[in-house]
């Protein structure tokens, strides 16, 4: 395994992070335990969860993923061996109304942290992230920003940082980060932190893959110049970049078979780009999955690459991508496809 540190900390994390959002829905607790055992044995010490998980979110399953992690930590007795990241839901929506409808207002952060600590059966969370912005902006598959002058959100960056600061001072969380955030919000949080001597956002967890390289716009520069590391999620584009949907080898419990509404990586453009990437991988004697993951891991702004799997075979292959090095010729071939078909995913 290769390790790095969370920006502005001395916390060592693996360059591959274990994503967990299928546990409690597509995966059982027993399967989650097996994945964590293998990941830790392979050198992965970084696990990512959220109060909302598993996905798709529902009142019946909400929090199950973190409960599985907590049960594993208790049974294995190895809390000191792993770095745990979690998230609080952001803007209220019908999708998460069963969790809370108050966003980050009032006692929401305190309530969310306490509930997550109980599920995880731990005294502290190493990295606590805002799952998505409270304000209206273009997240979750929306390509372009459309301003809504009637958005009821009021600027509360300072207030949110203050509430997170109280959690840090109470010893409940160690560091804070963002998720699904844009350039403006990221810089506002950094500005308020500097101006008011409040905790600094250390990381940003956004989608990043061969089919969605939009992070390479303004956010990549912010990441490098401000040292706020990307935790890249969906590096496999919901499994599309395994090539299994093109080859017709996807299992019945594959994500897009179970949940076809998650279609942001299923357009004609995405399919065509994936075919081209698959050809490059096969010409270079590697799987498309490992090429896709290695591409993400090698980016200079990536702190850790969040992989997910529904089977142990997938997990082993994905972890093995850490040993794949993409040379200049292969990277040029990848970038030629990107130039011809930039960011086909919405």
Q: Given this model, what pLDDT does residue 243 score?
A: 86
Q: Are 269 and 275 in contact (CB under 8 A)?
A: no
Q: Given this model, what pLDDT does residue 138 score?
A: 87
pLDDT band of 205, cuts 50, 70, 90: very high
pLDDT score of 86 more than 90: yes
Q: Given this model, what pLDDT does residue 259 score?
A: 59
Instruction: Give the pairing of strands 3-5 and 12-14.
Output: antiparallel
Between 202 and 252, name the one with better pLDDT. Answer: 202
pLDDT score of 127 more than 70: yes
Q: Are 314 and 253 in contact (CB under 8 A)?
A: no
Q: Is 299 left (phi over 0), alpha (psi -120 to 50) or beta?
A: beta
Which pair of structure tokens corresponds to residue 149?
């002058």
Q: What's 96's DSSP letter?
A: G
Q: Does the predicted model carry a pTM greater than 0.85?
A: yes
Q: Are 54 and 312 in contact (CB under 8 A)?
A: no
Q: Given this model, what pLDDT does residue 192 score?
A: 98
pLDDT in tens, 317-343: 999 999 999 999 999 999 999 999 999
**Which of 17-31, 121-135, 236-250, 297-311 has the weakest average pLDDT?**
236-250
Q: What's 199's DSSP letter?
A: P
Q: Given this model, what pLDDT does residue 238 score?
A: 87
Q: Given this model, what pLDDT does residue 260 score?
A: 64
Which pair of structure tokens corresponds to residue 235?
């590096």
Q: Given this model, what pLDDT does residue 90 score?
A: 87
Nearest CA among 13, 4, 15, 86 for reference residue 304: 15
pLDDT in tens, 269-285: 999 999 999 999 999 99
Q: Given this model, what pLDDT does residue 251 score?
A: 65
Q: Given this model, what pLDDT does residue 261 score?
A: 56
Q: Given this model, what pLDDT does residue 252 score?
A: 65
**Neighbour-count burial for 240-251, b at 16+ CB within 10 Å, e otherwise:** bbbbbbeeeebe
Whole-number Å distance between alpha carbons of 248 and 84: 35
Q: Given this model, what pLDDT does residue 320 score?
A: 95
Whole-number Å distance between alpha carbons of 208 and 238: 11
pLDDT score of 248 more than 80: no
Nearest CA among 151, 186, 203, 154 for reference residue 7: 203
Q: Where are the alpha helices (DSSP H) in the chain?
A: 29-41, 64-76, 108-120, 157-169, 183-196, 218-226, 244-247, 255-258, 268-283, 288-297, 312-320, 328-340
pLDDT score of 67 more than 60: yes
Q: Which of 53, 245, 265, 277 is catalytic?
A: 53
pLDDT score of 263 more than 80: no
Q: Given this model, what pLDDT does residue 133 score?
A: 95
What phi and psi values does residue 113 have, to the nearest 5 degrees?
A: -65, -45
Q: Given this model, what pLDDT does residue 257 score?
A: 55
Report all structural domains of the chain as residue ranges with CATH numbers, in order of start.
3-242+297-324 (3.20.20.100)
pLDDT score of 140 more than 80: no
Instruction: Give the pairing of strands 201-207 and 173-179.
Output: parallel
Q: For this structure, is 53 an active site residue?
A: yes
């Amino acid at each position: 395994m290769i390790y790095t540190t969370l920006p502005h900390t001395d916390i060592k994390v693996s360059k591959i992070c274990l994503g967990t959002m299928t546990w409690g829905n597509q995966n059982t607790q027993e399967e989650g335990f097996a994945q964590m055992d293998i990941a830790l044995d392979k050198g992965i010490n970084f696990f990512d969860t959220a109060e909302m998980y598993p996905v798709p979110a529902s009142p019946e399953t909400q929090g199950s993923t973190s409960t599985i992690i907590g049960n594993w930590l208790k049974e294995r007795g190895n809390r000191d061996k792993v770095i745990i990241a979690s998230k609080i839901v952001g803007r209220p929506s019908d999708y998460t109304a069963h969790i809370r409808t108050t966003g980050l207002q009032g006692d929401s952060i305190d309530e969310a942290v306490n509930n997550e600590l109980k599920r995880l059966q731990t005294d502290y969370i190493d990295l606590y992230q805002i799952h998505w912005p409270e304000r209206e902006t273009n997240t979750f598959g929306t390509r372009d920003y459309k301003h809504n002058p009637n958005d009821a959100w009021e600027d509360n960056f300072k207030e949110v940082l203050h509430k997170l600061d109280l959690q840090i001072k109470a010893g409940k969380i160690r560091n804070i980060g963002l998720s699904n955030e844009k350039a403006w919000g990221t810089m506002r949080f950094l500005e308020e932190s500097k101006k008011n001597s409040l905790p600094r956002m250390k990381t940003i967890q956004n989608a990043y893959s061969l089919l969605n390289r939009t992070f390479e716009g303004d956010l990549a520069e912010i990441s490098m110049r401000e040292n706020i590391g990307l935790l890249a999620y969906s590096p496999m584009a919901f499994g599309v970049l395994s090539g299994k949907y093109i080859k017709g080898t996807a299992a019945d419990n594959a994500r897009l078979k179970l949940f076809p509404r998650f279609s942001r990586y299923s357009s004609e453009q995405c399919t065509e780009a994936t075919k081209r990437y698959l050809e490059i991988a096969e010409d270079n004697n590697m799987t498309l999955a490992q090429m896709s993951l290695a591409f993400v891991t090698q980016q200079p702004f990536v702190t850790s690459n969040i992989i997910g799997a529904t089977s142990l075979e997938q997990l082993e292959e994905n972890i093995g991508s850490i040993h794949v090095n993409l040379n200049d010729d292969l990277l040029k071939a990848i970038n030629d496809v990107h130039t011809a078909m930039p960011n086909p995913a919405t």
